[in-house]
Amino acid sequence: MKYRKKPIVIEAIRFMIDDYLPDWFMDNLSQNNIITYSNGMCDIKTLEGTMRANFGDYIICGVNGELYPCKPDIFEKTYEVCEDVE
């Protein structure tokens, strides 16, 4: 049987590329859920444990506030910009 993801809206930033850092990112940074390093990497506390994001990876904040990294090629195949949703 095949399944399709339900259309949901997530928030994401491109690590070390996006200039704007949203509140959810800054809140998780101050709570040590995201730890950044000077070498362009960061560690993210996810539901599955700590995961690493590298320069240019997307950091996603899911529908329940969960965090996870995503490689750019996967992100771009899975998501599209959604400007008209709050």
Token digits of residue 50: 């700590």
Length of the chain: 86
Q: Domains of the chain: which residue ranges?
A: 11-78
- Checking if the pLDDT of 86 tops 80, the result is no
Question: Model confidence over 11-26: pLDDT tens digits?
Answer: 999 999 988 999 999 9
Burial profile 45-63: b = 16 or more Cβ within 10 angstroms, e = fewer: beeeeebebeeebbbbbee
pTM, 2 dp: 0.88
Question: Model confidence over 27-82: pLDDT tens digits?
Answer: 999 999 999 999 999 999 999 999 999 999 999 999 999 999 999 999 999 999 98
